[in-house]
Structures are given as C-alpha cells and as structure tokens.
C-alpha cells in the first residue's frame, strides 16, 4: 500500500492512552506534510471544545487523493509529532493497524474498542465541501458530533455544502461549542477565528 514503504513502529499503531470519560478529537488526514494550518485546526478544537486530546489519525492513504506523492506513513507520523508537540496532541497510524481505508470504519472500530471515551470528529472547513463524497458520510454525521474549523476561502462553500444543508437544524451556536463532546450525533459546530493560508499541496510544490 502506498505510504507504508517505511514501516512505522509498534507504538505508532496503538490507540493512544486516554482516561475514562475523556473528550477526544479525531483529526484525520494524509498530513503530507503537516503544516501550521493543520495545527491551528487542532489547537482551536482543543481550546473551543474543551478536548482532553486530539488524536491525529495519519491515514495510510486517502481514497479520494492521488497517492503518487505520498510519503511513507512512519515519516508523516514523525512529522506530525515534530509539529504538534503539546501534551494534548497524539499522532497515530492506527488506521494501518486496523487495515481500514474509510473514516466510517475507523470511527466504528474506535467506538467499539473505547466505549468509555467521547469522540468528536474534527476537520478543517476545506474538507467539508467534498464530505458528501466520503464513504458512508451520513453514517459518520449520525455517529459522532463534528467540529468544523474555518479555513481561508472555505467559509461560504462549507455553509452551503450538502452536509451543512442536510444537518442545518443540528448545528450548535458557536458560543455553545464546549457542549459538543457531550452531545449525541448528529450535532455540529462551525468555529471561526484566525486562519492560515497554507496547504500541503503548496508546500510540496515548493519543495
């Protein structure tokens, strides 16, 4: 599989440690490479939602993306750890251990293995316009609450997306974002704030 030419260590494939009842943000992506825009999304989710941790789910390969320039999984996990150094950031390649390709399957397995945790799916607004193309996207939306963090140029596209229109009555006011981890799905919030105009594609093109 693309991205696995350098095997990650065993610790990279485990579920990160977490205490009973903790609120955990699940932040998935190729992170090829990770950048300050990714970090801003994770840190805003931690602060605004009151999360105990964000698990950076470094995917073996996004089914919707070209894997031609995808760096090895272990290398991308190390890069996330180098960027997101705080104690509430945990990088993991557990999707490779589960041998899953789709977010809906990842969430299902995590809920089965860690029913004592409260999971929230975290994503940048730039990913929401295509969210309806994800495998079983409605299952995701109706399984875990979702936090969407604004990204440059994506606010209007996000709020007119198929997801936002279908689940508009389940959107929380932004001043109630801290309640999201305790809500039953479907539930979502859009978080505004400072944005960084940077992308993994632009970084690869400069290298």
**Segments of the chain assigned E as strands:** 23-29, 53-58, 89-92, 118-124, 146-149, 188-191
* 78 touches 56 (CB < 8 A): no
Task: Collect all residues with Cβ–Cβ distance below 8 Å to 186 and sequence separation of at least 6.
Answer: 141, 142, 145, 167, 170
**pTM (2 d.p.):** 0.88
Give the model's pLDDT for residue 7.
Answer: 61
* Paired strand residues for 58: 29
- Band of pLDDT at residue 8, cut at 50, 70 and 90: low
Scanning the structure block, which residue is given the tokens 């609450």? 145
- Kindly state the tokens that stand for 191: 């978080």
Go through the domains of the chain in sequence order and give each one's CATH number.
23-191 (3.40.50.620)
Give the model's pLDDT for residue 205.
Answer: 38
Distance (Å, rounded) from C-alpha 60 to C-alpha 29? 9
Task: Collect all residues with Cβ–Cβ distance below 8 Å to 102 and sequence separation of at least 6.
Answer: 63, 134, 135, 136
Which one of 7-16, 58-67, 108-117 scores highest in mean pLDDT? 108-117
**Helix-helix angle 73-83:36-49, to 10 degrees:** 60
50-78 pLDDT tens trace? 999 999 999 987 665 655 679 999 999 99
What phi, psi does 119 have (nearest 5°)?
Answer: -95, 145
């Amino acid at each position: 599989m693309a991205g696995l030419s350098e095997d990650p260590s065993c610790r990279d494939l485990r579920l990160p440690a977490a205490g009973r009842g903790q609120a955990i943000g699940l932040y998935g992506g190729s992170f090829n490479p990770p950048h300050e825009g990714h970090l801003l999304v994770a840190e805003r989710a931690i602060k605004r939602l009151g999360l105990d941790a964000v698990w950076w789910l470094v995917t073996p390969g996004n089914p919707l993306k070209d894997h031609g320039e995808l760096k090895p999984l272990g290398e991308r996990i190390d890069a996330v750890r180098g960027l997101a150094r705080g104690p509430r950031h945990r990088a993991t390649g557990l999707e490779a251990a589960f041998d899953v390709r789709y977010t809906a399957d990842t969430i299902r397995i995590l809920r089965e293995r860690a029913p004592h945790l409260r999971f929230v799916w975290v994503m940048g607004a730039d990913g929401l316009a295509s969210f309806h193309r994800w495998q079983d996207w409605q299952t995701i939306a109706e399984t875990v609450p979702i936090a969407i963090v604004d990204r440059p140029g994506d606010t209007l596209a996000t709020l007119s997306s198929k997801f936002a229109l279908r689940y508009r009555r389940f959107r929380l006011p932004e001043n109630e974002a801290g309640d999201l981890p305790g809500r039953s799905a479907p539930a979502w919030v859009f978080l505004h704030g400072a944005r960084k105009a940077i992308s993994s594609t632009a970084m690869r093109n400069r290298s």
